[in-house]
Copies of this chain bind each other. A is one copy, B any other.
Amino acid sequence: MSTPKHVAIVGASGAVGAELLRCLDQRQFPVGKLTLLASARSAGKTLSFQGKDLVIEELTGDSFAGVDIALFSAGGGISKEFAPLAAKAGAVVVDNSSAFRMDDQVPLVVPEVNRADVASHQGIIANPNCTTAITLMALYPLHQAFGVKRVFASSYQAVSGSGAKGIEELERQLRHWAAEGRGWDEEILPADQVRVYPHQIAFNALPQVDVFLDSGYTKEEMKLENEGRKMMHLPEFKASVTCVRVPVFRAHSVAVSAEFERPVDLAAARAALEAAPGVDVIDDPSSQAYPLAIDVAGRENCAVGRLRRDCALENGLCFWVAGDQLLKGAALNAVQIAECLL
């Protein structure tokens, strides 16, 4: 067993924070001391960890004395300000925000993809974008087998990706619709009740996640290419992505057409995915078995299925991958990175 560590969670009161607590417990991470940190708004609230009630403290520049590992999940602004302070105080930061992901000095890690990169850290390690992490869980084993060149992908992203507020917004819209007894073709909400998303999320598909870049892509859509290049050490990798928010609570799904350097043998592709850690192959059309958002919710492993030779690419494979956005897409991967530090 490793020496128990002093772990701090920044953003403990959020949706990812709750999952960080659960992952540390379930994976029996050697927690000697646990410090919960959040904004002044959440400070004073109590969270339970392994049967003990812990009071959330207000995050300040002095919060990290004696901390070994600091798990950040409180947005990019908080990370930019406090992660360097935590690192200076001697903690290793695992940061769930996008603040440091493309920083050359900061390793960006999915342990199943590039565990070795952890070693080069200088106090901060970045956790990738959720859709990117989930997609790479299936793409990377295929890359090892056939050499990936580019992908075309569309996402079906859950509202949990916007945190607890996103979940509440979908719930509120649907409960309002049900309570009012409205029909399926009636307007369900006055516009001023829409807050997290620019448009109604219930009964809709929003082709916008994150802000727009000059190219017309959103920031979210370029993360698979940018972060994928960095993690796979593949500077020529290309990814054309459309990121879409759908009325699903917790797990993301991604439809992918991937092109490879070498011919893709379907049986070899399946074998590569079956041998991959953290991946379940669920792929039996005859019994209508394929990965489903509601099935992977709450599960550590990502699921891949709908494997088929791509009919519009020479060395191509089509697949469908789903993963819990709060787990492999966030908290689980952060704790797995922390495990690499033990």
Contacts and interface: CB of A to CB of B under 8 A. Distances in A.
A200 B310 CA distance: 28
B311 A238 contact: yes
A43 to B, nearest CB: 26
A32 interface: no
Given A207-B306, A247-B203, A313 B184 contact: no
Contact of A242 (B177, B212, B298, B306): B306
B320 A242 contact: yes
Interface of A: 150-152, 154, 156, 167, 170-171, 174-175, 177-179, 184-185, 198-200, 203-208, 212, 215-217, 222, 225, 238-240, 242, 244, 246-250, 253, 255, 257, 266, 285-286, 288, 290-294, 297-298, 305-313, 316, 318, 320, 322
Grouping DSSP codes into helix (H, G, I), strand (E, B) and loop, the A interface class, with mixed when no group exceeds half, is mixed
A307 B216 CA distance: 7
Contacts of A308: 215-217
Given A215-B309, A216-B306, A247-B203, A242 B154 contact: yes
Q: How many monomers of this protein are in the complex?
A: 2
A244 B246 CA distance: 12
Contacts of A240: 152, 257, 310-313, 316, 318
A139 to B, nearest CB: 14
Nearest to A248: B203
A293 B199 CA distance: 11
A176 B322 CA distance: 26
Given A207-B320, A242-B320, 8 more contacts: A156-B156, A185-B249, A199-B288, A203-B248, A207-B291, A208-B290, A217-B318, A238-B311
A154 to B, nearest CB: 3
6 contacts: A185-B297, A204-B294, A215-B308, A216-B306, A217-B318, A240-B257
A185 B177 CA distance: 19
Given A152-B312, A242-B306, A174 B178 contact: yes
A241 B105 CA distance: 39
Contact of A253 (B179, B205, B222, B292): B205
